[in-house]
Amino acid sequence: MSEIAVPVIAIDGPSGSGKGTLCQTLARHFGWHLLDSGALYRLTGMAADRHGVALDDELAVAELAKNLDVQFVPGAAGEPTSVLLEGDDVSGELRTEKTGLLASKVAVLGAVRSALLQRQRDFAQAPGLVADGRDMGTVVFTDAPLKIFLTASAEERAQRRYKQLKSKGDDVNLATLLLEIQARDKRDSERELAPLKPAADAIQLDSSGLGIEEVFERVLAEAKIRLPSL
């Protein structure tokens, strides 16, 4: 069990379900800290790639994870957070499909997950934390008073990602994106360590066809019930 001295809202779910936007909105609404746990795995994968460390060399990748030289630099009002890896701004590279694949591969390594576990728990600081990930409610913050498992159909998530990448001018194929999402879902849900699944006490919410405001209002209503001090 994790030891939580401050309130934590744990949001889990697959890629493209809207977790990131929801968590940022909640953190901004409450004035709480935000943990993007996926960024830590993405950064670990990037560090391994840039240092030529094989992704199946578990101990070497775990050593990188334990000593990640990372900075999260908040942007100005309305601007995203900048992410620095070893002093380099990797904010754009962090969200590419290539980096997502690297993250998915290192996330199955037990030693890597152990190396990042306490680092994630250390984000739980007053006045509160919104934690975004795949095992926030099942592993990292097991006693979080509010756990949400946010999902959407693979087709919906592929459409969202397609529109996002096209808006950036990327040349992408919808059918290929769908296959990649389905493959990642399978890999994440079937891995032996911390598989992607809802916690037993999580509220499951399907965001297919819902706008972010609708999702936010539903989660906010649950927060007021589970966290009466808000």
The Cα 158–Cα 137 span in angstroms is: 25
Reported as a single tens digit per residue, the pLDDT across 200-210 is 999 999 999 89
Backbone angles phi, psi at 38, to 5 degrees: -60, -30
Q: What is the pLDDT of residue 144?
A: 96
The H-or-E segment that residue 21 falls in is: helix 19-30
Strand-strand pairing, 146-151 and 33-36: unpaired
Q: What is the pLDDT of residue 2?
A: 45
What are the helix (H) ranges across 95-197? 97-106, 110-121, 154-167, 174-190
The Cα 99–Cα 46 span in angstroms is: 7
**Predicted model pTM:** 0.83
DSSP annotation of 79 reads: P
Q: Which amino acid is at 73?
A: V
Q: What is the pLDDT of residue 152?
A: 95
pLDDT < 50: residue spans in the chain: 1-3
Q: What is the pLDDT of residue 74?
A: 62
Q: What is the pLDDT of residue 76?
A: 61
